[in-house]
Amino acid sequence: MRHRKRGRKLGVSPAHRKALGRNMLQAIIDRERIVTTVEKAKQFQPLIEKVIHLGKTDNLSNVRRAVKLGGNRKLEDPVTVTETAGEGKEKVEKKRVIARTTVQKLFKDIGPRNKDRNGGYTRIVRMARRRVGDNASQCIFELVEAPWTKVEKK
């Protein structure tokens, strides 16, 4: 019987599973869409949902909890925001860096984007093709409130 044996082993040691979860968390925050196996996405979806929920409120205790769960890792690219001021010839565009680490992006970009959402911050979309090497089922694991998934209401 498998009573009280929650979770998947994924064929790796417990330390490797913990590192795998942190790496998946960093990747989903950095890129907002990744391709992975269905089993890994289902295993780490609750962890990622929890960290995004912490990112909605920017207080010190939530920052510390998010760092403990995911680690304070560097981003591949800094997150920049373009601001425009003026019109016509006086139009000025200014680029400003708002985040340099994964935790900063979580609290300054992803958290405020999901402010009105009560849960369900991620989506798992199964892909028809399977991985070539081991024939594993693949999926797209993405954030629901990503910039490319916006639907304009008329």
98-137 confidence digits (pLDDT tens): 888 999 999 999 999 999 999 999 999 999 999 999 999 9
- What domain count does the chain have? 1
- Looking up tokens 């990622």 gives 48
As beta bridge partners, residue 39 has none
Q: Is the pLDDT of residue 153 over 80?
A: no
Evaluate whether residue 154 is within a structural domain. Answer: no
Confidence tier at 151 by pLDDT (50, 70, 90):
low
68-99 confidence digits (pLDDT tens): 998 878 887 788 888 888 888 888 888 888 88
Evaluate whether residue 128 is within a structural domain. Answer: yes
Q: Is the pLDDT of residue 148 over 80?
A: no
For residue 39, count CB atoms less than 10 angstroms from its CB and return exposed for 0-12, middle for 13-18, buried for 19 or more: middle
Model pLDDT, residue 128: 95
For the domain that residue 120 is a member of, what is the CATH number?
Answer: 3.90.1030.10
Q: Which of 76, 71, 122 is nearest to 99 (CA)?
A: 76
Distance separating alpha carbons of residues 114 and 27, to the nearest angstrom:
18
Evaluate whether residue 76 is within a structural domain. Answer: yes
At a CB cut-off of 8 Å and minimum separation 6, what does 72 contact? 101, 102, 103
Evaluate whether residue 3 is within a structural domain. Answer: no
17-56 confidence digits (pLDDT tens): 999 999 999 999 999 999 999 999 999 999 999 999 999 9
Structural domain that includes position 104: 14-149
Note whether 121 and 114 are within 8 A (CB).
yes
Evaluate whether residue 85 is within a structural domain. Answer: yes
Distance separating alpha carbons of residues 93 and 80, to the nearest angstrom:
12
Evaluate whether residue 9 is within a structural domain. Answer: no
Q: Is the pLDDT of residue 11 over 90?
A: yes
